Amino acid sequence: MSANAQIIKTQVGIVGGGPAGLMLSHLLAKSGIENIVVEKRDHETIRTTHRAGILEAGSVKMLTDTGVNGRVLTEGMEHEGIDLRFNGESHRLNFPDLVGATVTLYPQNEVFVDLAAARKRDGGDVRYSVTDTEVLDMTTDTPKIRFTDSEGQLFEIHCEILVGADGSQGICKWAIPQEYRTDNFIEYPFAWFGILTEAPKSSDELIYANSPHGFALISQRSETVQRMYFQADPNEDASKWTEDQIWDELQKRVDGPDGFQLKRGPIFEQMILKFRSYVCEPMRYGNMFLAGDAGHTVPPTGAKGLNLALADVKVLFEAIDSYYSTKSKELLDGYSDRALKRVWKAQNFSYWMTNMLHTRKDANPFEVKRALGELQTVVSSRYGQQYLAESYTGWPHS
Ligand code: DHB
């Protein structure tokens, strides 16, 4: 124990107050399991950090069925399909027809707002703006989280189960000694240039476009605000691009004989989003369990990141809940293997979508045409479409 540290005892200590940490905290509290969340960012920073926007049906159900609130149903936009566009032609995948499911466009920051509000409403203990967070004694019966709160007071949370839900930049996974974890990862030679624009919708549904100039994704936020991305160099300086250059680049990537035109408007945010594929195995060390981006990250194509985090949380919650009701650690012991099954499926899907839709700068004509052959295979076969639709809308939660 540190000198001057104020000790707080709880059952579950959670590092990270993003959607994964807050959803777990919410579920545990509903089950009468005490928990505390610590988060290094402040509420406003998380609320205004733009992330992906597509929720699988299972994620929507988690928000509504567990009593977070119903905003996702009133504010979210249900989408029944996507458009795969290549060779300048659109191919719509109809999800209800293919797999009997839909997705909902509801940005991750809104999910955070809902969860943070639910924790506040229900008297949850969530401490934002903490600094110097450390995790200790993970292999003992009393793992600890040490941190300094926003007022400068040093604390130690003594818990029984510690959860690392502190995202891809978090400290928890790095606290697992190297010999107890395997870091599986690959880098991609491209990034996304993302914009937010005040413009009417160019399309009612998402367009995933493969073009000779690279990938583009046309997404939405509301009737008046749109989100779009295009494949760019990871070292690109987004601030150097003028609005006209950005719009021309996006338009080039969706051009086709059908004359499809993006609806332009003022751009009020432009940024480069770098990505990689990463999985930490196992997602556990002693009595510390990793959930969400703390344990794995996927490239954004297909929007699996948040959905995967919520799926981890569901499995981890069931394991913790079972531990407190039966005193058996069986489900906790099985957590990592169980979560990793879905993680690797999502890794495969995100990798597949990314590579099929993006074009490497040094790609030769064979590789370019092979990818087009793959896209053609998907859209010309009901099985191919179903494979994409099933993965995109989300495999059933266990
Ligand atoms: C969005 C982001 C994605 O990565 C994706 O696959 C779909 C939508 C978005 O931000 O709207």
Q: Where are the domains of the chain?
A: 6-78+105-184+278-353, 186-275+359-393
The answer to whether residue 2 scores a pLDDT higher than 70 is no
pLDDT class for 241, splitting at 50, 70, 90? very high
- The burial class, CB within 10 Å (0-12 / 13-18 / 19+), for 109 is middle
Determine the pLDDT at residue 4: 86
Residue owning the nearest CA to atom 11 of ligand 1: 53
**Residues near 3 by beta carbon (within 8 Å), at least 6 away in sequence:** none
Best residue for ligand 1 mutational test, from 77, 229, 271, 352 (most atoms within 8 Å of Cβ)? 229
pLDDT tens-digit series, residues 32-59: 999 999 999 999 999 999 888 899 999 9
Ligand 1 in contact with 76 (CB < 6 A)?
no
**Residues near 180 by beta carbon (within 8 Å), at least 6 away in sequence:** 285
Q: What is the mean pLDDT of residues 105-109?
A: 96
Determine the pLDDT at residue 365: 95
The H-or-E segment that residue 187 falls in is strand 182-187
- Residue 22 β-bridge partners: none
Match 């080039």 to its residue by tokens. Answer: 252
Domain 6-78+105-184+278-353 class in CATH:
alpha beta
Known catalytic residue at 208 = yes
Determine the pLDDT at residue 53: 87
Determine the pLDDT at residue 234: 96
The answer to whether residue 63 scores a pLDDT higher than 60 is yes
- pTM greater than 0.95 (yes/no): yes
Per-residue three-class SS string for 275-339: CEEEEEECCEECCEEECHHHCEECCCCCCCHHHHHHHHHHHHHHHHHHHHHHCCCHHHHHHHHHH
The answer to whether residue 3 scores a pLDDT higher than 90 is no
Residue 310 CA to residue 345 CA, distance in Å, equals: 15
Contact, 381 vs 389, CB < 8 A?
A: no
From the candidates 208, 278, 285, 323, which is the catalytic residue? 208
Residue 368 CA to residue 346 CA, distance in Å, equals: 24
> CB 299: neighbour CB atoms within 10 A?
24
How far away, in angstroms, is 224 Cα from ligand 1 center? Answer: 17
Terminal-to-terminal C-alpha distance of the chain: 39
> CB 22: neighbour CB atoms within 10 A?
28
Determine the pLDDT at residue 44: 96
Query: Residue 183 to residues 87, 140, 293, 294: CA-CA distances in angstroms?
Result: 37, 24, 13, 12
pLDDT class for 77, splitting at 50, 70, 90? very high
Best residue for ligand 1 mutational test, from 49, 51, 54, 227 (most atoms within 8 Å of Cβ)? 54
Q: What is the mean pLDDT of residues 382-388?
A: 98
How far away, in angstroms, is 187 Cα from ligand 1 center? Answer: 19
Residue owning the nearest CA to atom 3 of ligand 1: 303
Q: What is the mean pLDDT of residues 328-332?
A: 98
What is the rounded average pLDDT for all residues in the chain?
97
The answer to whether residue 272 scores a pLDDT higher than 60 is yes
pLDDT tens-digit series, residues 126-137: 999 999 999 999
Structure tokens that stand for 313 in this block: 């949380």
Quick one: what percent of the chain has pLDDT higher than 90?
97
Give CATH for domain 186-275+359-393: 3.30.9.10
pLDDT class for 1, splitting at 50, 70, 90? low
Q: What is the mean pLDDT of residues 197-213?
A: 98
Query: Residue 345 to residues 62, 187, 285: CA-CA distances in angstroms?
Result: 20, 18, 23
pLDDT tens-digit series, residues 82-100: 999 999 999 999 999 999 9
State phi, psi for 127 to the nearest 5 degrees: -110, 110
From the candidates 26, 79, 173, 358, which is the catalytic residue? 79
Ligand 1 in contact with 206 (CB < 6 A)?
yes
CA atoms within 13 A on the CB side of 311: 26
Ligand 1 in contact with 371 (CB < 6 A)?
no
Determine the pLDDT at residue 51: 87
